[in-house]
Structure 1
């Protein structure tokens, strides 16, 4: 099943996990949108540098540390994703509470592991 995913904190650097995640999501036939600080393309996915009102998102996968996430709390909630994935190093109890209040499922997991074990 195609799970449209926003990679929040996307990087053009090929050695970054967000970059790997975009590649692996595309390879697994998921529709991918991405937001990062620098414009560019990874695996055919354009990285947006402005916050767009993406529609029909299934998943937001985070690649921002908790301090940097604060600026995106309202944005993430406004997208109404079915779930948010907190990749290693992005765990954030404050955002967990906000998501709970808004009935948005979240999990502390690794997108790459979920994909490689068919649990995405």
Structure 2
């Protein structure tokens, strides 16, 4: 099943996990949008630096630490995704509570592992 995914904290640096996530999502035939601090492109996916309102986002996968997530709280809720994935190092109880309050599911899981196991 296709799950349109927003990679929040995307990077053009090949050594970053967000870069690998974009590559693997594309190779798993998922539609991908990306927002990062620098514009660029990874596997044909343009990385935006603005909070564009994307339609039909199923999953937001976080690659931002807790401190850098705060500025995106309202944006994440406004996109109304089906779920948010907290990759290792992005765990945030405050955001989890906000997601629960807005009936948005979340998981503490690694996008790369889920894709590797076929459980994305």
TM-score by length of 1: 0.99
Stretches of structure 2 lacking an aligned partner (at least 5 in a row)? none
Stretches of structure 1 lacking an aligned partner (at least 5 in a row)? none
Q: Aligned partners of 2:2 and 2:103: how far apart in 1?
A: 22
Q: Alpha-carbon deviation of 1:54?
A: 0.5
Secondary structure of 1:74's counterpart equals helix
Secondary structure of 2:91's counterpart equals coil
Q: Which residue of 2 aligns with 1:53?
A: 53
| Count of residues paired in the alignment | 120
Q: Aligned partners of 1:68 and 1:38: how far apart in 2?
A: 15
Q: Alpha-carbon deviation of 1:33?
A: 0.2
Q: Alpha-carbon deviation of 1:34?
A: 0.0
RMSD between aligned residues: 0.3
Runs (4 or more) in structure 1 with deviation over 6 Å come to: none
Q: Which residue of 1 aligns with 2:113?
A: 113
